[in-house]
Amino acid sequence: MKRQLNVVTRRLVHGYLQEIAVLYSLRGKGEAVTFTSFVTKFLLQQSAHNVEAERLLALCREVYHRNREFCSA
């Protein structure tokens, strides 16, 4: 069962990366990984002086940790 979940999760993540690549006119999934890292770092920097950025980052963190097993299988 866990192996099946791993396969499903990998497919979902690859799908998410492809979706991000298309939405932001990136050159593929590799660049989508770089972009998501950039966005995360940007939110971290903005959260130091922007309450809304801090709230969004906290929400992302909370949701990820709640779904960690599924997201990182």
Domain ranges of the chain: 2-71
The answer to which of 9-13, 45-49, 61-65 has the lowest mean pLDDT is 9-13
The Cα–Cα gap between 22 and 26 comes to 6
pTM to 2 decimal places? 0.80
d(CA 10, CA 17): 11
Give the CA distances from residue 4 to residues 7, 9, 17, 18, 45, in Å, rounded to whole numbers and listed in that order: 5, 9, 20, 21, 38
Kindly indicate the confidence band of residue 3, based on its pLDDT and cuts at 50, 70 and 90: low
Q: Is the pLDDT of residue 43 over 70?
A: yes
